């Protein structure tokens, strides 16, 4: 047998012997195990860091896209406003020019008529001049008739312009102006732009074109638990697969299966000023979290997922942390625009309406 170094440990319970080779093998195995565990932990931290960096990059691109869309919409509104103002200024200048030319021609006509009478009282010496004046009168009369036609055309176009603006007044539920002025037309443009801006950013209209409303906002007997419970939205009974549309511009906050709420496949969309809409019990979503959606865009199809007793769509509107009755918003449009501000309480509508981009031009710079 080879010579070996043996360690002997003696206790009250007895003694144990360990050879040096055995101790070294234990130490070697322990070192290898620690190195392997360190390698696994390092890879795990590296993968987790890469995932977090990817998520931050996606969020950064989403914010850039939202900023570009808002900037483009802002520039389009300013361009439309300047275009309308330029056209109205040109029309006013044309009217003034025509009126001035008409007055000038009338003065010339009276002057020529006076000269014509003088020529008639003169001798044959002025006959040639009289003939020449007759020719001039014919030419001026022809020009006058042409100017009258052009003036009538301008008046007709102005009348058509005024009638179109009066139609807009009636459509927006405003008093109809007896005389349409340039200032009134600019005011109507401002009002229309404000209403369209609010109607694009705040939920309004129907999320579905088919189906019928079966449950409203308020207390009800829950169809599953059979207990009295608050119903925070409205329900539409419809077939599975019926298209569902966004009721305002916004960003998809959540798109997936929401088991805790019982809404099954759920879409949550964030809109301007702190408004959100919820679309529950869907069969399929066609947009993902982070997607920018437009009012009227297809976002999913109705279904029967989650805690549901039949195919339907559950639709909610929330303002920050407050649940709102969706019914006034379903009927809100440009014609009954002012009704919502008295029907939906607890929202600082006056402050929100001042957030229209054109109103910001009058705000002081900080």
Q: Does 14 reside within a domain?
A: no
Same domain, 188 and 263: no
In the listed set 136, 169, 201, which residue is the last one of a domain according to the structure?
201
Same domain, 123 and 91: yes
Same domain, 116 and 219: no
Same domain, 233 and 320: yes
pLDDT band (50, 70, 90) for residue 319: very high
Range scoring the smallest mean pLDDT among 171-175, 311-315, 358-362:
358-362
What is the dihedral angle through the alpha carbons of 61, 62, 68, 69, rounded to the nearest 10 degrees? 160
In the listed set 174, 201, 228, which residue is the last one of a domain according to the structure?
201
pLDDT band (50, 70, 90) for residue 363: very low
Q: Does 135 reside within a domain?
A: yes
pLDDT band (50, 70, 90) for residue 122: low
Same domain, 226 and 191: no
Instruction: Classify burial at 146, counting beta carbons within 10 Å of its beta carbon; exposed 0-12, middle 13-18, buried 19 or more.
Output: exposed
Split into its structural domains, the chain has a count of 2
Q: Does 17 reside within a domain?
A: no
Q: Is the pLDDT of residue 361 over 50?
A: no
Cα Rg, the chain, nearest whole Å: 40
Q: Is the pLDDT of residue 366 over 50?
A: no
Quick: pLDDT tens for 205-237: 999 998 889 889 988 877 766 778 888 999 999
Same domain, 162 and 95: yes
Q: Does 265 reside within a domain?
A: yes
Same domain, 223 and 335: yes
Highest mean pLDDT: which range of 51-55, 59-63, 78-82, 139-143: 139-143
In the listed set 153, 181, 201, which residue is the last one of a domain according to the structure?
201
With residue 114 as reference, give the H or E element that holds it: helix 20-120
Q: Does 195 reside within a domain?
A: yes
Mean pLDDT, to the nearest integer, of 256-260?
Answer: 92
Query: From residue 143, how far is each of 91, 109, 130 by CA, in Å?
Result: 21, 11, 20
What is the model's pLDDT at position 357? 64
Same domain, 165 and 294: no
pLDDT band (50, 70, 90) for residue 360: very low
Q: Does 267 reside within a domain?
A: yes
Question: Closest Cα partner for 332 from 319, 342, 346?
Answer: 342
Q: What is the extent of the structural domain holding 225?
A: 212-353
Q: Does 12 reside within a domain?
A: no
Same domain, 228 and 194: no
What is the model's pLDDT at position 52? 79
What is the dihedral angle through the alpha carbons of 159, 162, 163, 164, rounded to the nearest 10 degrees? 120
Mean pLDDT, to the nearest integer, of 62-89?
Answer: 75
Residues 6 or more apart from 72 whose CB is under 8 A from it? none
Same domain, 197 and 229: no
What is the model's pLDDT at position 119? 62
Q: Does 3 reside within a domain?
A: no
Same domain, 218 and 349: yes
What is the model's pLDDT at position 94? 78
What is the model's pLDDT at position 4? 58
Return the HEC string of 223-259. CCCCCEEEECCEEEECCCCCEEECCCCEEEEEEEEEC
Same domain, 166 and 246: no
């Amino acid at each position: 047998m080879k010579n070996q170094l043996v360690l002997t440990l003696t206790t009250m319970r007895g003694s144990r012997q360990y050879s040096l080779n055995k101790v070294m093998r234990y130490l070697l195995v322990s070192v290898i195990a620690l190195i392997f565990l360190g390698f696994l932990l390092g890879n795990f931290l590296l993968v987790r860091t890469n995932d977090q960096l990817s998520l931050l990059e996606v969020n950064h691109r989403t914010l850039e896209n939202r900023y570009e869309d808002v900037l483009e919409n802002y520039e389009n509104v300013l361009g439309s406003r300047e275009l309308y103002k330029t056209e109205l200024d040109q029309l006013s200048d044309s009217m003034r020019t025509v009126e001035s030319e008409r007055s000038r021609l009338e003065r010339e006509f009276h002057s020529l008529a006076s000269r014509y009478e003088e020529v008639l009282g003169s001798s044959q010496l002025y006959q040639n001049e009289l003939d020449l004046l007759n020719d001039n009168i014919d030419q001026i009369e022809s020009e006058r008739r042409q100017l009258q036609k052009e003036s009538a055309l301008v008046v007709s176009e102005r009348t058509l312009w005024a009638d179109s603006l009066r139609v807009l007044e009636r459509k927006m539920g405003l008093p109809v102006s007896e005389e349409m002025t340039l200032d009134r037309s600019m005011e109507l443009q401002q009002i229309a732009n404000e209403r369209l801006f609010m109607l694009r950013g705040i939920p309004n209209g129907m999320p579905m074109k088919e189906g019928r409303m079966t449950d409203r906002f308020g207390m009800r007997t829950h169809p599953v638990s059979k207990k009295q419970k608050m119903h925070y939205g409205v329900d539409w009974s419809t077939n599975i697969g019926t298209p569902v549309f966004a009721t305002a511009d916004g960003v998809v906050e959540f798109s997936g299966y929401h088991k805790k709420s019982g809404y099954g496949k759920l879409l949550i969309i964030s809109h301007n000023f702190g408004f959100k809409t919820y679309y529950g019990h869907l069969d399929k979503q066609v947009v993902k979290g982070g997607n920018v959606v437009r009012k009227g865009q297809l976002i999913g199809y109705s279904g029967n997922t989650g805690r549901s007793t039949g195919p339907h769509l559950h639709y909610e509107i929330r303002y920050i942390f407050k649940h709102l009755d969706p019914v006034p918003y379903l009927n809100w449009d440009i014609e009954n625009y002012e009704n919502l501000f008295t029907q939906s309480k607890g929202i600082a509508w006056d402050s929100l309406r001042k957030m229209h981009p054109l109103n910001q031009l009058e705000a002081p710079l900080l």
